[in-house]
Amino acid sequence: MTGANKGIGFEIVRQLAKLGHQVILTARDGSKGLEAQKKLQAENLNVNFLAMDITQEESIQQAANKVRTDCGKLDVLINNAAISLHDDHSLLQNDSAITAEIINTNAFAQLAVTKAFHPLIPNGGRIIMISSGGGSMTDPVGGWSPAYCVSKSFLGAITRHLAYELSSRMISVNALDPGWVKTDMGGRSAPGSVEEGADTPLWLATADKIATGKFFRNRREIPW
């Protein structure tokens, strides 16, 4: 699970650990990742921490090698890490570095992580992309954080193509909108809880059978 030291990622890790799964929590900041691990261990949950910066190829490969050595395989990869920047106001007016940083972190990095870890995923495994309704190509455009929304649209396209490429190995690849929930990114005014935001990814990770190449919200497929 990438970006799991707080918010929805942290809650997904907690719930998976409660179900008895062996979970690897990753975070870019080592101290924050270890702090998150300690919080979960205080709840008597067995969670392993692994430092990984998804924007750095060397860090990704080191993490993949560590998982290969320690675990031998990875049944489910959940790509959760993402950023939203306050200066993201307009595709026409954004500093190009802002737009590039958001797209690189929220889309290219997810692909880089998947490329590094997919050899560890056995046939029938799963890859889950935490996306956003802002990336929908059918919902109305709201004008908020446009580079962020574009990055999630890009992630949707990546999801569909990965689903096709991995279909021969029966590895499902899906994206989901967790909804607007109370996190550092979502803000305190968000109507949903982190528990609600974690529900659909938990379902995608643990359901007996699941489709592939789809976009979900509240456990239901929605249009891209």
Which residues are bridge partners to 79 per DSSP? 129
Check if 164 is active-site.
no
**What tokens were used for 207?**
């359901």
Which residues are bridge partners to 221 per DSSP? 216
Annotated catalytic residue, options 10, 148, 154, 215: 148
Sheet holding 172-176, edge to edge: 76-79, 126-130, 172-176, 215-217, 220-221
* Residue type for position 68: R
| Helix H or strand E encompassing 127 | strand 126-130
Pairing of strands 220-221, 215-217: antiparallel
Active site residue ranges: 148
